[in-house]
Structure 1
């Protein structure tokens, strides 16, 4: 037997539809309201935190030991300051040279990336320049040699002066005198004559020959008045010719040689005594 289903009334269906719509609106309102409540709760929490008053009745001030703090400051583990050292002038100079060299290479090759033999040449090029500069300095020094020019003698007179002691003590002055006269080098002949007089005076213990002594000191050492007078005359003649760089004639040399002969004649009796 079939059961007869009665149709739902239209009015009741509309009531259910209205009820569902209200539920949806209520759910949507609750969703929107929940963030606002969270934000308000956070604001209330912040306000409560701000309102909290700290009571300082039971607080005890902290005291620090100044001596202990200074000890910590001295330890490297607590030194957080980074000290930067300034480059020396030599380091700055090398950096400047390196900068100029790189600028020159960039100007020469541009953006070209060198490799192989060219790259090797670029690496050794600064050392080649340094070697060339040092070689040039050495060559100029040996070529010009200003020190040698200062120390070198301007003439033969200074060469003989530097060898004076050797001439007086070891050389045969009589042979040197004869050779100078034969070559008409009368200036050197007078020089050798004077050195032979000093040698004879030293051998006769009338003076003590020393290279650094002056002619005035030799005069003061001679005690014999006649010999002292003769030596003073030849000394004046010798200094005039030798240090004055005057050209000596044959007649001038004969006058000087006569004075030296007188000294030798005065020394003979002293030597025989």
Structure 2
């Protein structure tokens, strides 16, 4: 075994020694010593065209396609007002930043706008319910409300004959027809043809009538009354006399039966 190790050591030592001798005796590569003269230099004698630019060439590049700097849009009056208000709130309430103050002001302005709209709608609805919206429903809205409320509540206490004469003397024929219709309802209620109730409609009273002849007459008189009263136009003397005679006959008929 020892002999084998001695032989391997000798072979390894010999290889290392041979490699060192080979590196020591190797010569470096030679550098070429070629020399160049002036004859070897070539001069380019071709003509070079000189480029020139017109004096107004800048005008061709002034369009929007050649603008590379984006300008901030100008602020409108509303934007400046909002910024001023945000600055005021920022000074008064010590917001953390201008952005937070601006956000608060935006929400506040929108809330106030919604409240104003709701308030306006409330006023309109209130005017309609209370029948004060004369500018909405026409010039005679207040007059019509008067006759619905005051007269109908006291239908059994009114002297319709006197009221009709006063209306005719003052030239208010439409109001006289109104009185005739209420007088007819009063007589029908007193003679138990209907039960009077201020909330009832003409159809309700028509349903309560039993005899067909009464139904037919009341239907026509209701049509005549609605045409004259709600039509809101003045009637001539001839038309008024025809309507007046028809109401007088009906009142007489319901009073005597």
Name the TM-score class by shorter chain: 0.3 to 0.5
Select the structure that is richer in helix.
Answer: 1
Structure number with greater Rg is: 1
